[in-house]
Amino acid sequence: MAEDPEPSTRKPPDWQLPTGDDDRTLNSLLGIVDGRAAAGRATCDVEAAEGDPAPATFAITSAVDIALVRAAATTVAPPEEMNGTAELNVSYLRPPAGRAHIACEVVGRSPSSRLVEFTVADAEGEFARGRSTYAVRTRRPR
Amino acid sequence: MTVEARFDDLARAWEQRPLLRGLGVTVTGLEEGRACLAMARNGTNVSGVRDSINGGVQATVAEVAAHLAATTLLGAGEYVVGTQDLSVSYLTSATAAVTTIDARVLRHGRLTVVDAELRVGDEGEHAGQLNAKVRVTCALGRDRS
């Protein structure tokens, strides 16, 4: 690589995600608030921990997977079954600046997969986007 | 302070973070440009298909490992701004009692590129099996003072 592109230089805070016990739910640990899921779309929000201005990308990464799985699930019905995330790609345009809103949409489908695209935005606008391939399998009749 | 002592302090500090405690993650090794973590199955991180560790959690822990590996190479006044890009290929279900995460810096610069692998940490037939391959690009910053 010949030359560094110019990355954002906004210094992040010392991230401290919500404190809690070991048996907390994943959503609780990461500050994830489930939204709606229907007809190939799903949303969720990620809250900043108390004292932090914005959620960590670590939390957003998990939240994106949770939301995309919920979006895919709305398009899967027997004899199809959910079979796991196969690929996940997230690109950030800048660090999050506040509560993050994730919106996922199934944009393509095949017998073995769902293609899901998503955006992540805060009050200042969209700051990340990406896509995922979710694997689906079809149960054979006995 | 020696490099080893600095890395020990770094590992302990990260292990105290609520995120890592909640996800059952420990730092098992740090060296320049490399971070090794272990994640034990628990009630928080298991929610994937086939009773596996959640795919988002795998990606999150790989991202943490990548930041930690990048942190081992920071010079005076440098800091990790955040993740610029994250790409995960899930290869097999992470159903082991312990999943290991090995993150290695491929390129160090203002955009630092880290490769991470998640593998079965248990002994036995599937020991070392690759669960996921992750590529993380981290943006680094530098204090102007």
Confidence of residue B123 (pLDDT cuts 50, 70, 90): confident
Q: Which ipTM score applies to this complex?
A: 0.93
A97-142 residue pLDDT tens: 999 999 999 999 999 999 999 999 999 999 999 999 999 999 877 6
Residue A32 lies in a domain: yes
Q: Does the beta carbon of B6 lie under 8 angstroms from any beta carbon of chain A?
A: no
Q: With an 8 Å Cβ cutoff, are B50 and A23 in contact? A: no
Torsion of CA A126, A19, B43, A128, to 10 degrees: 10
Which structural domains are found in chain B, ordered by start? 3-142 (3.10.129.10)
Q: Which residues constitute the domain of residue A72? A: 28-138
Sheet strands (E) in B22-97? 25-31, 34-40, 78-90
B96-108 residue pLDDT tens: 999 999 999 999 9
The pLDDT of residue B114 is 98
Distance of residue B122 Cα from the nearest chain A Cα, in angstroms: 22
The pLDDT of residue A23 is 44
Q: What is the DSSP string of B82-125?
A: EEEEEEEEE-S---SSEEEEEEEEEE-SSEEEEEEEEEE-SSST
Q: Does the beta carbon of B120 lie under 8 angstroms from any beta carbon of chain A?
A: no
CATH for A95: 3.10.129.10
Residue A67 lies in a domain: yes
Mean pLDDT, rounded, for B9-30: 93
Core vs surface per residue A14-47: b (16+ CB within 10 A) or e: ebebbeeeeebebbebbbbeebebeebbbbbbbb
Give the bridge partners for A82, in sequence order: A136
Residue A23 lies in a domain: no
Confidence of residue A2 (pLDDT cuts 50, 70, 90): very low
For chain A, how many structural domains are there in total?
1
A18-43 residue pLDDT tens: 333 444 588 988 999 988 999 999 99
